[in-house]
A = this chain, B = another copy of it.
């Protein structure tokens, strides 16, 4: 897992998910602070076709295991804080 490499690879994710993992469009999820294991699992599910999405099924198809690991490490490395409404 190489978060620095993942940050570079995230250039292809940022239009929708943001470089900092805060989504730029409502149909895309925030990825900031999601766990390595969760992110890897979802990318591999999109790659295999187990999970389907118009955009992600295309994007994930060409990712190697190493790229998936690195991308996941980048987004997992971002710290998030949550504030509930009053």
Please give the residue numbers on chain A whose beta carbons come within 8 Å of chain B beta carbons, in ascending order.
Answer: 3, 18-23, 26-30, 32-38, 41, 50-52, 77-85
- B78 near A85 with CB under 8 A, answer yes
Shortest 4 CB-CB contacts between residues of A and residues of B: A32-B82, A26-B35, A79-B83, A20-B82
- B79 near A82 with CB under 8 A, answer yes
Cα–Cα distance between A28 and B22 once the two chains are bound (Å): 18
Distance from A51 Cβ to chain B, minimum over Cβ atoms (Å): 6
Cα–Cα distance between A34 and B62 once the two chains are bound (Å): 26
Which residues of B lie under 8 Å from residue A32 when comparing CB positions? 80, 82
- A30 near B34 with CB under 8 A, answer yes
Cα–Cα distance between A78 and B43 once the two chains are bound (Å): 25
Known: A80-B80, A81-B81. 16 other contacts (CB 8 A): A3-B85, A18-B82, A20-B82, A21-B82, A23-B34, A23-B35, A26-B36, A26-B38, A27-B37, A29-B34, A30-B33, A33-B82, A50-B52, A78-B83, A80-B81, A80-B82
